[in-house]
Amino acid sequence: MTCNGRPASGVKVKLYDSDNSFLPGVLDTDDLMASGKTDSHGEYNLSGSTKEITGIEPYIAIYHDCNDGIKPCQRTFRVGIPSSHVTRGSSPKSTFNAGALELAGKYPKEGRSCLN
């Protein structure tokens, strides 16, 4: 990850499984599978697992302050992980590369998070 072309170190990155409950009145929060921060090169590596009856829908949540000024909380957005990178068991068979992400730009469905 970069911020204005420079490596973005210390960016919080979390790996979640999206839980969408279809039962009325049931609140099912997303499962945190792993978390970490980018290194001095703006890179990170996460691996996680969870137990579900059905398949999982993983995504990476990114929390940062790039080009944020003095606004409270952090900018946040999600990057979905294709199902082709989801495997049964705890040992991944492939690695998903989210690519080079420039945090200075605006991302679809970007929001703010104070509790992360």
pLDDT per residue as tens digits for the range 56-71? 899 999 999 999 989 8
Looking at residue 45, its amino acid is N
Provide the b/e sequence for 40-56 (b: ≥16 CB within 10 Å). Answer: eebebeeebbeeeeeeb
Local confidence band at 53 (pLDDT 50, 70, 90 cut-offs): confident
Tokens found for residue 70: 């003095």
- Residue 112 domain boundaries: 1-116
Q: Return the percentage of the chain with pLDDT > 70, whole number.
A: 92
Can you give the CATH number for the domain in which 41 is found? 2.60.40
pTM of the model: 0.89
